[in-house]
Chains A and B, each alone.
Chain A
Amino acid sequence: MISGHYQHRLGEFQLDACFELPATGITALFGPSGCGKTTLLRCIAGLQQADYGQFSLGGQCWQDQNQCMPSWQRPIGYVFQEAGLFPHLSVAGNLRYGYRRIAVEERRITLEEAVEATGIGHLLARRPAHLSGGERQRVALARALLTSPRMLLCDEPLAALDHQAKEQLMGYLQQVVDEFRLPCLYVTHAPHEVARLASHLLLLQQGRVLASGVPAQLLTRLDLPLSQRHDAESLLQGVVAEQQAGFGLSRVRCDDIDLFLPQLQHRNGSPVRVQILARDVSLTLERPRDSSILNILPCQIDALHNNGQTYALVRLNLGSQQLLARITQLSAWQLALQPGQQVFAQIKGVALV
């Protein structure tokens, strides 16, 4: 269990964040610019002195009213937004910088393991100036791992990367977190990264914790700003059930319903997470016939949110999971949608995250 409470005043801005997070998997610290997510991460790393700070990881206290462990003693691995590789050292020199400073008996991750897990074996002799953005971040990740940390802290590590490098680094990060069983706090303002990586989500707004929980649940909560965004989405958990190679499709089973996705590389039985944008979901009262839309799912209206604007949000129960639909207010009124009502959701786009 990770628990902490930080209070800090910076001019007009007031951070007052109290949180309890699982000590496994990736927890996304998510919120708009200026919500204090980076400040919070820096406080946890000990790089920022807070007016009041309390933090513990797995029962081990790092700071409270009486004591504060300096940042260079905290067992963390920090990946900065711009990698922060030392330009006067080679890649290998960068990797060894932290590694050499860890007592031999405390080293749990070897040079070979870290290099292997991040795929940087061919870069060791290079200078940081001769690396691409994605390569730099992988070296930074390996360098952080080599301090054998108890927790990984990532501050928007993908912000400066192109799309392809982003996808690749997310793969490496997920793999590293799974392989070394490292809890990871991951600061981001990109919903896609939350959907792809996070097993837990801490929502921040104006320096305060707005909500903390499983991403699939928080994404579909109608009282949170996530569902109000134009790219509001829901996440469904499923397993690959069947490949329909002839049509270039894969069938994914979510509870007791089927979804068709463009063909996946996964083997049958693999668990997958799919994301569905709320604006790609439309509702009908009866099952439409002769439609080109493949994914038409029977579901039940759980709740409706009407904010007096053009659009209404509808949360749907789909077995034990939930789906978000964004339709116009006018449609909601014309169809006389009510909680509890059975409807059909037509889904125009499903993507693997």
Chain B
Amino acid sequence: MLASLNWQPIWLTLELAALTTLLLLLIGTPLAWWLSRTRWRIKAVIEALVALPLVLPPTVLGFYLLLLLGPHGPVGQLTQALGLGLLPFSFAGLVVASTLYSMPFVVQPIQNAFTAMGPRPMEVAYSLRASPLDAFFTVALPLARPGLITAAVLGFAHTLGEFGVVLMIGGNIPGQTKVVSVAIYDYVESLDYASAHLISALMLLFSFVVLWLLYRLNRQLNPDNERHPS
């Protein structure tokens, strides 16, 4: 039964989720740090922008992204001018869309972890001759680890499950943009319930195992449940 399964959407989905999570951690961590430390008024604006995907229907986000990235949109014209071609209906376009769409799920847990830490650990590090960058990597990041793990799990899981944005910006091109959620939809549309069942069950199992492993890892790394500096 597994032999007859089309694995392509599954690999594509995992690739997309992994790449998106990685990108989000790279972008989201500095952004979360800045949001947790800044006193600028613009902070509220940025926070609201980051949180938008939480409340917007995915189709709205997808629609605007399509306009922005499309041949007549400003970003689309830029990518064309740079020789990168157009992003919509490509894997790269999916990565960009997923990154924006899953942003709040990554930024918010990290920001909360940084905020809960307070200013003291960094001050202690400075008094021990660590420069701000040094202190960020050796104190702030280790202390925020539970938040970072939560962020990675949520970002990954959320990207696995996205559908609306994918459909708007990626379409349904096998091997390029046809991810699991779209494939399942296809199977159901064509009344191939057996395949839909199989791929859905696999997704369910996989998601559960990943989440369970990560939470268990987090628990093992924090035997004392010490999250704040004493």
Contact = CB atoms under 8 A, between A and B. Distances in A.
B126 A84 contact: no
A83 B128 CA distance: 13
Contact of B123 (A47, A87, A88): A47
A136 interface: yes
Contact of B127 (A82, A86, A131, A144): A144
Contact of B128 (A82, A129, A147): A147
Interface string B101-136: 000000000000000000011011111111110110
A101 B128 contact: yes
B149 interface: no
A262 interface: no
Nearest to B221: A88
B230 A85 contact: yes
A40 interface: no
Interface string B132-144: 1011001100110
Contacts of B228: 87
Contacts of B139: 86
A65 to B, nearest CB: 23
Interface residues of B, number: 25
Contacts, number: 83
B83 interface: no
B129 A47 contact: no
Interface residues of A, number: 31
B221 to A, nearest CB: 9
A136 B230 contact: yes
Interface in A42-93: 45-47, 70-73, 76-78, 80, 82-88
A130 B225 CA distance: 12
Contacts of B227: 87
B129 A88 contact: no
Nearest to B143: A88
Contact of A76 (B127, B130, B135, B145): B127
Contacts of B131: 70, 72
B226 A84 contact: no
Q: Which 8 A-B pairs have the closest CB atoms?
A: A98-B128, A78-B127, A84-B124, A101-B129, A87-B226, A88-B142, A71-B126, A72-B126
Given A82-B120, A127-B224, 14 more contacts: A47-B126, A47-B127, A70-B126, A70-B131, A72-B125, A72-B127, A72-B130, A80-B123, A84-B124, A88-B143, A101-B128, A101-B134, A144-B127, A147-B127
Interface of B: 120-121, 123-132, 134-135, 138-139, 142-143, 145, 224, 226-230
21 contacts: A47-B127, A71-B123, A72-B131, A72-B135, A78-B124, A80-B120, A80-B123, A82-B120, A82-B230, A84-B120, A84-B123, A86-B121, A86-B142, A86-B229, A88-B226, A97-B130, A98-B128, A98-B129, A127-B224, A144-B127, A147-B129
